[in-house]
């Protein structure tokens, strides 16, 4: 496995690739397993929830998502996993149905680290896709973080960046600046 460079929205050359309409994947493809493994390693290293192939410079219809594990704190302070992480590999995904109801959510992207803005998304989506073996799947009414991530990653495959979905650009902000400590003299 290898950590790959994530292309950036704010780099002119990278942006050209990120704005491309991705080509469908022809399955089976024995090189895909390694790419998927690299993408998961890259996403984990960047603390992400999803990553699309064009973000690592490959304009094909492939994206990965991993819903983080859920933990509960016990009375003794220890943490216990109550739900394991859920990894998804979506090849040639197509959103075939949407809720018709929007919700606004603070959204970021590994291609613009540290920046977040309010993005409208459907409350749920149904997506059809293939797995690594070429088998067809349908994920019905994916909602919450999974539904949100599917919409974000499928946008990447269509050359749409999350910044283009933001209706009020004043909500786009660099949270790394919000977290920086103030100089000693300014900390009243």
Catalytic: which of 73, 153, 178, 185?
153
The token pair at 97 is 């149905």
Residue 153 annotated to the active site: yes
The C-alpha atoms of residue 132 and residue 184 are separated, in whole angstroms, by: 54
| Burial class for 173, CB neighbours closer than 10 Å (0-12, 13-18, 19+) | middle
Residue positions annotated with a catalytic role: 153
């Amino acid at each position: 496995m290898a950590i790959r460079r994530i292309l950036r929205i704010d780099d002119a050359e990278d942006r050209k690739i990120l704005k491309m309409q991705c080509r469908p994947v022809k399955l089976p493809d024995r090189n895909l397993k390694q790419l998927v493994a690299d993408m998961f390693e890259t996403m984990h290293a960047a603390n992400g929830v999803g990553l699309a192939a064009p973000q690592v410079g490959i304009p094909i219809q492939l994206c990965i998502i991993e819903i983080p594990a859920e933990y509960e704190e016990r009375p003794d302070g220890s943490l216990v996993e109550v739900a394991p992480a859920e990894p998804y590999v979506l090849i040639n995904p197509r959103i075939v149905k949407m809720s018709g109801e929007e919700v606004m959510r603070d959204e970021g992207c590994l291609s613009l680290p540290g920046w977040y803005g309010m993005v409208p998304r459907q409350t749920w989506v149904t997506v059809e896709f293939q797995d690594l073996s070429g088998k067809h799947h349908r994920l019905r009414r994916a909602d919450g973080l999974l539904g949100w991530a599917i919409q974000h990653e499928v946008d990447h495959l269509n050359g749409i960046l999350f910044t283009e979905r933001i209706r009020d650009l004043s909500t786009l902000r660099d949270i790394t600046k919000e977290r920086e400590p103030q100089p000693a003299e300014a900390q009243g």
